[in-house]
Structure 1
Amino acid sequence: MYSIRQEELFSFKELFLMRPEDKYSQIFEHLDLAKVLHVLRKKNNRGRPEELNVPAMIYSLLIAKMENIEFVSSLVWRLTHSEEFRAQCRFTGSDNIPSESSYSRLIHALEQTGMLEKLQDSLVLSAIEEGFVSGTHLAVDSSIVEAWDCRFSEAAAKRRAARRAPKPSEAPVAQQLQFELTEPEPEVVNEPPKKPVYTKRGRPSNAEKERRRPEQEAYEQSLGPFQKTIEAMLPYTYDELLAALPRHAARCDKKNTEGRLTSYYGFKANVLVDTDCQYIVSGVWSSANLNDQRMAVVLLKGLLLKFPTLKVKHILGDKGYDCAAIYQLIHSLGAYPAIPMIHRKDPPEGMNVDYTPVCSQGHAYRYDSFDAKYETLKYTQPSECKGCPLLSSGCQKVFKIRIQTDLRKHTYPARGSEGFTELYKKRTAVERVFAYLKEYFGMKRTRHRGVRASVDFQLSTLAYNLSKFALDKLNQQLRNSQQVA
C-alpha cells in the first residue's frame, strides 16, 4: 500500500495574510465623523460614562445598507455572532455590542441634529474639489418607496383605539363623580379658518368681492407652504420648506409603466443627480402624496444654498415637472431647463407643438444657434423650402425668439432639435441611480415610520455616494500610477 505525503502549498502565516481584503476600509477612509461625534458627545461629565463605540455604530449602519441587512435586530445578531463582521464595523474586542434601543436612540439623534445631511453635503463638496462632480447637467426625479409594515396602519389604529376605549360603566367611580359635579373647561384651540364656501350662483358684485376679500386672505394665510400653489412656494426659504415638509407615510396614486393607475402607500424619495458622474447631489425624503413639482422647488432651493460655486447649465426632468414656476426657479439659478412640454391646448398659428416657427407650407424652421448674451434662439429656413415659389416674398428667412418671452415654451436648446434630444437622453442617469439604490443599498422598501424611515433614506444615499467616491479615488490613483510608469 502506497503512502503518499502531500506537501503544504503555503504556511499558516501566508494563509492568514491571504484573507479577503476589507473592502470597507477603502470606503470609510473618506468619511470624516469628527463633527458628528462632537455634536453627539455628552455635554458634561456627569452621569453614567459612555460605553458605546458611536463611530463603529455609524459604520455598521452604513454597512447594513451595503449588505442589504433590513432590520436593526438582524444587524445586532450579525454583530453578536460574527467576529469578522465586528472587525469590519471597527468594533474592538473591549467594545460592548449595542442593543436595538441603543441604535434607536442613535437614529433619533442623527435625525434631530441633521448630521447625515451635513455628511452628505461635505462629501459632495469633496467630490467637486476633486473634479469628480462638474454639475453641468443635473437631473431631478422622484421614486416611490413602499412602507410595508404600516400599509393598513390607519384602519388598524382606529380598531385598536375602539377596542381599548373603556365603556362608560367601566370608568372609575371618582371619574364619574367628577364628571357629574364639575364640567370640563373648554379648551382654547386656535383652529385655522375654513375655506370660504359661497352658494350663491353667478358673478359676484364689486361690493360682494370686497366683502369676501378678507375671508379669502385669512384662509390663504392660514395655509402651509405645501398647501399653497407652487408659485406661492417660491418666496419661502429652504429651511422653512424643510420645517413644513410632511414626512409621514401616505397613500399615492400613480401610473405604472403600463399606464395603469396603481395605489401605493409609503414615502417618496426625491433626488438631484449629476448625469455625467451619477453622484447624488441632493436628496429629500417626503410623503408619497406630495407633488413632484413641489419637491423640485425644495431641491432647487437647497442647491443654491449648499453649493453656491456649482455652475449648473441644464436641469433635466420628465413631463411631471412641466410648470411655469419650475422654469422660473431654474432660470433664476442661471440654468436652462430641459423638460418635455405637456400640451394643454393647441399651439398658435405659425407654430408647431414644439413652439418652433412654421412656414406657410407647414415645414418647421431649423434650429440654428443660441445667443447667450441676449438669450435668443435663432431659426433658419427649412431645407424643404429651397425650391418654394414663396421663398422670396411669402416666407421669412430667419426667426429670432427670446427665451424671456415665455420660459415654458422656449428653452435652450430648442425642443424638437437634435441637441435637445441628445441632452434629454442623459436624464436616464437618475433612473439608474434609483435602480442602484433599490437593488444594492436597501432602498427598495422600508418597514420603519417617520424619523427612522427618513434616516434609512439618508443612510442609503450616503452609502452610495461613499462607494462612488472611493471608486473614483481608486481609479484616479490607478491612472496616476500608469502615467508615472
Structure 2
Amino acid sequence: METSSRTSQAGIRSERRLCDEIHLNLAYRWFCRLGLEGKVPDHSTFSRYRHGKLRDSNLLRQVFEATVERCLREDLVSGEGFAVDASLIAADANKARSIAAEDWSPEVAREAGNRTAREYLETLNDAAFGAASPVQPKFVAKSDPAAQWTRAEESRPYFAYATNYLIDTKSSVIMDVEATRAIRQAEVGASRTMLDRTEKRFGIRPEWLAADTAYGNAENLGWLVEQRSIVPFFPVIDKSERTDGTWSRSDFEWDEANDQYICPEVHALKQYRRNYSDPNRGQDTGGRKKYRALKATCQACPSKDICCPKAEARYVTREPHEEAREFARACRKTKAYKVSRDKRKKVEMLFAHLKRILGLNRLRLRGLNGAKDEFLLAAIAQNLRKLAKLRPQCAKPEATA
C-alpha cells in the first residue's frame, strides 16, 4: 500500500511503468529489498496476483478488519452509534466507447469474453448490482459493464461506482466498506450487509444508526426497528402529506387497539366492516392496507370540503412497517436526533478526505473486484491514519502513570 502511495505521487499509474522505474531508481530498489543486481519481477506478476491469489484469499478484507481490531483495542470505537452513507467514485470508463442499454445483454457480454464482462455476468443476481433494480441505465460501458451510468448533483452524467461507509461516530473509525451500483436500492442494501457483517465479525451492534433520507424507506426501517432493534435517526420517506390544504394522513389518529383510524371529526375509518364467509376475501396481499369511512358519514360531515372534497368518502392508507415509520418520526423530535445529525457529518468528512487528500476521484482498476480492492485500500489507509493520529493521545495517560 505504501508503494502504491509513493508511486501515485510520482505519477506512476501502471505496473509496467513501475517495473521500469525500479530498474533505474535506487530508492525503489532499496524499498523492495532487491539490491543492485536483484531481478525485477515482470509487470504481469502484479496483475496475476491481484486477479488471482490476492482476491481468492480475501487478503485486503483481512487487512482492513485487522485495522478495525486495532482500533477496538485502542478504545477508539464505542459501538453506541454508527453512521452510514455512500459516495460516487467515477469508473475508468469512457462515454464515447459505451453502447445504448437496449443493445446490451448477457449474450453480448459473453461474446465480449473479457475479464470485466465475466465479472459483470457474476453480478446479475447480486443484490448490490444486477438484482438491485430492474431498471437499466441509459448507457453501458463495454470496458466496465458493472459501472452505473449516473450523475451527481450539478454534474454531467458519468460511469461510477458507489463506496459505502459504515463508521463509528466516536472517532470516525470505518467499521465496514462495501462497493455497489450507484443507485439508492443498492446503497440501502449495503447498509444492512455492513451492519450484519460488523455484528458477525466483531460482535458489535449499534444502539442507533444515523443516515440521510435515502435510507428512510419502510422496508429498511422495518428491518432496523423490528428485526435488529436499532434506533433509526434519519428522516422517513413519506409521500402521504397533502399540499392542497386538505387533511393529510398525519391528521388522522391511529387506534391500534381497534385497528382503525379516527378522523379529526371523531369518525372511524375501518379496513373491514363485516366478516367475510370466504377467508380469502378482504385479505391484504401487498402489505398496504386501506381504511375507509362510511359514505353516509362523510356526506353529512361539516368538514368534507377540507377532507375529501372530490370523493364521496375518505380513505386512508397504512403502509407496511408503519409502526417502525411512526417510531422513526418520533425519534426525529428528540434531542438525541439533533446530536446524531451532527455526528453523521463525520462520514461526509471521510468522503471529502478520500477524494481531496487521497485523490480517489476516479478508479484506476476496472470491474467490480477492482472497485472493491480500491475502496478497501482507501478505507485501510484512512483507519491507519486515524490510528496514527489518535494513538499517541491514548498512550499519554499510560506513560504518565
* TM-score bracket for this pair, using the shorter chain length: 0.5 to 0.7
The 3 A distance-change label for structure 1 pair 255 and 454 is closer
Tell me if 1:349 matches 2:251: yes
Range moving further from structure 2, 116-125 or 338-347: 338-347
Tell me if 1:296 matches 2:191: yes
Matches within 5 A, 1:72-471: 72-88=15-31, 95-108=38-51, 109-155=53-99, 225=127, 248-256=145-153, 260=154, 262-289=156-183, 291=185, 292-308=187-203, 310-331=204-225, 332-346=227-241, 347-349=249-251, 406-411=323-328, 414-450=331-367, 451-471=369-389
The 3 A distance-change label for structure 1 pair 65 and 414 is farther
| Code of the aligned partner of 1:460 | A
Please say if residues 162 and 181 of structure 2, whose CA atoms lie closer than 8 Å, have aligned partners that are also in contact.
yes
- After superposition, the C-alpha distances for 1:99-138 in whole angstroms (9 at most, x for unaligned) are 3211111211222221111111122122112211122221
Please say if residues 251 and 266 of structure 1, whose CA atoms lie closer than 8 Å, have aligned partners that are also in contact.
yes
How far residue 329 of structure 1 moved from its aligned partner, in angstroms, is 2.8
SS in 2 for 1:416: coil
Equivalent in the alignment of 1:473: 391
| Code of the aligned partner of 1:325 | E
How far residue 272 of structure 1 moved from its aligned partner, in angstroms, is 0.5
| Code of the aligned partner of 1:336 | V
The 3 A distance-change label for structure 1 pair 225 and 423 is closer
C-alpha root-mean-square deviation of aligned residues, in Å?
3.6
Please say if residues 236 and 328 of structure 2, whose CA atoms lie closer than 8 Å, have aligned partners that are also in contact.
no
Equivalent of 2:3 in 51, 60, 64: 60
Equivalent in the alignment of 1:201: none
| Code of the aligned partner of 2:232 | P
- After superposition, the C-alpha distances for 1:55-111 in whole angstroms (9 at most, x for unaligned) are xxx652365568785443454454344333444456555653333211111211222
Structure 2 Cα separation of the partners of residues 438 and 285 of structure 1: 16
| Code of the aligned partner of 1:422 | V
Please say if residues 248 and 286 of structure 1, whose CA atoms lie closer than 8 Å, have aligned partners that are also in contact.
no
How far residue 479 of structure 1 moved from its aligned partner, in angstroms, is 4.5
How far residue 429 of structure 1 moved from its aligned partner, in angstroms, is 0.6
- After superposition, the C-alpha distances for 1:234-254 in whole angstroms (9 at most, x for unaligned) are xxxxxxxxxxxxx95433434
Equivalent in the alignment of 1:236: none
SS in 1 for 2:150: strand
Length, aligned pairs only: 295
How far residue 140 of structure 1 moved from its aligned partner, in angstroms, is 0.8
Please say if residues 147 and 266 of structure 1, whose CA atoms lie closer than 8 Å, have aligned partners that are also in contact.
yes
In our comparison, the structure showing a higher alpha carbon Rg is 1
SS in 2 for 1:445: coil
Matches within 5 A, 1:42-57: none
- After superposition, the C-alpha distances for 1:272-303 in whole angstroms (9 at most, x for unaligned) are 11222111110111233463222223222322
Structure 1 Cα separation of the partners of residues 34 and 392 of structure 2: 25
Identity among equivalent positions (%) equals: 22
Matches within 5 A, 1:4-43: none
SS in 1 for 2:89: strand
Please say if residues 209 and 232 of structure 2, whose CA atoms lie closer than 8 Å, have aligned partners that are also in contact.
yes
Structure 2 Cα separation of the partners of residues 423 and 429 of structure 1: 10
Structure 1 Cα separation of the partners of residues 21 and 330 of structure 2: 53
SS in 2 for 1:334: coil
The 3 A distance-change label for structure 1 pair 405 and 284 is closer
SS in 2 for 1:145: strand
Structure 1 Cα separation of the partners of residues 391 and 33 of structure 2: 22
Please say if residues 166 and 194 of structure 2, whose CA atoms lie closer than 8 Å, have aligned partners that are also in contact.
yes
Structure 2 Cα separation of the partners of residues 68 and 136 of structure 1: 42
Q: TM-score, structure 1 length as denominator?
A: 0.53
| Code of the aligned partner of 2:148 | R
How far residue 435 of structure 1 moved from its aligned partner, in angstroms, is 1.2
| Code of the aligned partner of 1:425 | D
Structure 2 Cα separation of the partners of residues 146 and 446 of structure 1: 6
Equivalent in the alignment of 1:185: none
Please say if residues 198 and 205 of structure 2, whose CA atoms lie closer than 8 Å, have aligned partners that are also in contact.
no
Shift >4 Å, 4+ stretches? 62-70, 88-95, 222-230
* Unmatched 5+ stretches in structure 2: 112-123, 134-143, 242-248, 254-263, 265-320
Equivalent in the alignment of 1:19: none
The 3 A distance-change label for structure 1 pair 68 and 479 is farther
| Code of the aligned partner of 2:379 | T
